[in-house]
Amino acid sequence: MNAILLSLLGSVIILDKYALGEFGVSQPIITGTIIGAIFGDVWFGIFLGGMVQLIFLGGLPIGRDVPPDGQAAGIITVTSYFLLRSNNTLGHSLFVAAVLGLAGGILGGVLEIYARRLNEKLYARFIHHEENLYICHTAGLLTAFGRGLCLFLPIFIFSTLFVIPGIFPQVHGQTMAIIGISLGLANSFYLFVKVKTTVYLLIGGICGLALVVF
């Protein structure tokens, strides 16, 4: 698939984040599976998506806080890797894809702020002109789709054309796994290990082990 079709696909998938109800399709491990299947390498798509999922595990949109866009980062990392792989070594492709994914996640969070501001204007218009309900809803979907397209298209075109110089560092699957698991454990401890919930965490762990053993 070319960069334009992949950008359109990514923009449709990212609608799952708020615009069409969050069903989990846009989560990195799911998008990694989908994109990996498109490129004929499901296993590595799942692997990359899972690593991105762990890295962005602690980014929760609580209240008005807008964390880096982990869903966009997953789409960018996996897709960029497969596009880069056609012209570059696997280690170089993985390194550049990881960098693009992290940068894309940050940029996606910035673009989301602007998208929310546009949606606030659409909501204000609806309040004063309730007959424009469907127009405002459609415009909101187009805003979310346009955010994804503006984010994905230049990165995917770049990934298609970029030939990585040999001086760039290389990242191998084992290194990526160490980074992802380490950050995933750190995020898990931050989110779940609290003084008040330690007892329940231990009980859950014991029950899980019991199920595995018996």
Please report the sign of the dihedral spanned by the C-alpha atoms of residue 170, residue 76, residue 46, residue 27: positive
Which pLDDT tens digits describe the chain residue by residue (214 residues)?
Answer: 688 999 999 999 988 877 677 788 888 999 999 999 999 889 999 999 988 888 887 666 655 566 778 889 999 999 999 999 888 888 888 889 988 998 998 888 888 888 878 877 777 777 777 776 677 767 778 888 888 899 999 999 999 998 888 788 888 877 777 777 777 767 666 666 665 666 666 676 677 667 666 6
Contact yes or no for 174/51 (Cβ under 8 A): no
Residue 147 corresponds to which tokens in the numbers above? 């955010």
Residue 22 corresponds to which tokens in the numbers above? 């969050």
- Each residue's pLDDT tens digit, 144-181: 888 889 999 999 999 999 888 878 888 887 777 777 77
Contact yes or no for 11/3 (Cβ under 8 A): no
Residue 122 corresponds to which tokens in the numbers above? 């659409």
Name the residue range of residue 103's domain: 3-213
The number of distinct structural domains making up the chain is 1
Per-residue pLDDT, 6: 92
Q: How does DSSP assign 117-159, residue by residue?
A: HHHHHHHHHHHH-GGGHHHHHHHHHHHHHHHHHHHHHHHHHHH
Per-residue pLDDT, 91: 87
Contact yes or no for 24/16 (Cβ under 8 A): yes
